[in-house]
Amino acid sequence: MPESATPVTPVTFPPAFLWGAATSAYQIEGAVREDGRTPSIWDTFSHTPGRTAGGDTGDIAVDHYHRYRDDVALMAELGLNAYRFSVSWPRVQPTGRGPAVQRGLDFYRRLVDELLAAGIKPTVTLYHWDLPQELEDAGGWPERDTAYRFAEYAQIVGAALGDRVEQWITLNEPWCTAFLGYGSGVHAPGRTDPVAALRAAHHLNLAHGLGTVALRSVMPARNSVAISLNTSVVRPLSESPADLAAARRIDDLSGGIFHGPVLHGAYPGSLLEATAPVTDWSFVQGGDLELIHQPLDAVCLNYYTPTVVSAAEGDVRGPRADGHGASDHSPWLGADDVAFHQPPGEHTAMGWSVDPTGLHELIMRYHREAPGLPLYISENGAAYDDKPGADGTVHDPERIAYLDGHLKAVRRAVADGADVRGYYLWSLLDNFEWAYGYEKRFGAVYVDYETQERVPKSSARWYARAARTGTLPPVEPGE
Ligand code: IFM
């Protein structure tokens, strides 16, 4: 039989699989001064000269606050059966403490009702990086009180939406909040203090534990509570003991520091040892680890690219090739002797290498790390320099290939025994990519930022076919 005639086995997913897309409040909503919302740390940061590419801000973003009905209709047209969004803390609790603003909560009620009416399952993320500025002024995540404020906020949102939203995520990528926000300073609030970053990591863990308890105190028991982690898939450059130790260091700092206490009730000993020159961790109080170690209903994983490291030769201070933005301060505390390497092969517009094997590896790792717990891919996707053609359509074959490869990796993990229940493409729409402003387009749907017109890219059409049939469509050349 000629090779071209070889039948291709269809890649089919379990019938209940969730085919979703993800977004976050500050990246899409806009309307930053409406209905009682006050500034978050990202409003302050993006309005500070030099912090974001082109001075871009989320003031308007993609105007989802006003266009949410059309956006839900678009999701329905694309056949999605799940949508992950985040709630803007300063929209529902402007000072980060005290009573909620009903108008803010009402927006999310309307959004959820619209989703449910369209047959789309909502997943709420409580914290996707937009801390109310007043809480940062009081010390932010390095202060213990912020964890208690988060629990109060979680209870407010849980009480308002818990009757209609079943899937909850406490925090999105606490690594970014702690280490990009307080370590390298490339994210809001832009601080560069190693001890503050480690304190922030612990208080985020505490917030997750307290928030989980708070949510469960007001929600029906059937609801699921999880956390979204972006643990690096770390690959040592060689099997040398020095490179293996470097990989271990980065694994502890991106993964163990969060899943250690969250899933196992303890920080890794190797992490405590490596960070000892910076802190004695005395901010961890008696009983904290028990509070953080709540039983969870699922674990959510965000994956984009693997991280290749070696023991550094020579001076590796200065901007890092670790894909998280340039800063003279490394987010990798206590790892000054680790070098980051750009893997060969294809890269996205972020400079991140395309490697679906990393997603398979990550899933299988958490299949072991959290035995018996369902797993979700709460983010996966790629930025490319998408532009409309003369006929107004947007073709993004690289993104189709990226999604196809990564969804196949998910399916392989399912075949290998992992209980992966859903996949949320990052992102539904082009949006505000943090310090990169609007330069980087992650959307399956193109947004014309002048007119706010939405144009589904060819990847959105491809993904829609996958979502409708539960089977990956062929990847047509030139799509
Ligand atoms: O846009 C971000 C998102 O907010 C969090 N995870 C990574 C995405 C791409 O950088």
Per the domain annotation, does 401 fall within a domain? yes
Measured CA to CA, the distance from residue 110 to residue 126 in angstroms comes to 17
Full domain range(s) for residue 134? 18-469
Residues 372-409, buried b or exposed e (16+ Cβ, 10 A)? ebbbbbbbbbbbbebeeeeeeebbbbbbbbbbbbbbeb
pLDDT tens digit string along 59-117? 999 999 999 999 999 999 999 999 999 999 999 999 999 999 999 999 999 999 999 99
**Mutation probe of ligand 1 site: the residue of 434, 439, 441 with most atoms within 8 A of C-beta:** 434
Per-state percent for the chain, helix, strand, coil, to nearest 5: 40, 15, 45
Q: Look at residue 422 and tell me if it is in a domain.
A: yes
Nearest-atom number in ligand 1 for the CA of 350 is: 10
Annotation marks residue 379 as catalytic: yes
177 lines ligand 1 (CB under 6 A): no
Q: Which of 114, 173, 369, 433 is catalytic?
A: 173
Query: Considering the domain boundaries, does residue 29 fall inside one?
Result: yes
433 lines ligand 1 (CB under 6 A): yes
Residue 12 in any domain: the answer is: no
Q: Which atom of ligand 1 is nearest to the CA of 27?
A: 4
Q: With pLDDT > 70 as the criterion, what percentage of the chain qualifies?
A: 96
> Which atom of ligand 1 approaches the CA of 442 most closely?
9
pTM: 0.97
* CA–centroid distance, residue 7 to ligand 1 (Å): 37
What is the tally of structural domains in the chain?
Answer: 1
Residue 379 Cβ contacting ligand 1 at under 6 Å: yes
DSSP for 243-305, written as a single string: HHHHHHHHHIIIIIHHHIIIIISS--HHHHHHTTTT---TTS-TTHHHHH----S-EEEE-S-
CATH number at residue 433: 3.20.20.80
Tell whether 6 is covered by a domain.
no
Looking at the domain assignment, is residue 7 inside a domain? no
Residue 2 within a domain: no
Nearest CA to ligand 1 atom 4: 24
Q: Which of 114, 143, 369, 379 is catalytic?
A: 379
Which residue, judged by its Cα, is nearest atom 1 of ligand 1? 433
426 Cβ inside 6 Å of ligand 1: yes
Is residue 10 situated within a structural domain?
A: no
CA of 474 to the centre of ligand 1 (A): 27
pLDDT, block means (10 residues), the chain with 479 residues: 62 98 99 98 98 98 99 98 99 97 98 98 99 98 98 98 98 98 98 98 99 98 98 97 97 98 98 96 98 98 97 56 72 90 94 98 98 98 98 98 98 98 98 98 98 98 98 86
Ligand 1 center to 187 CA (angstroms): 12
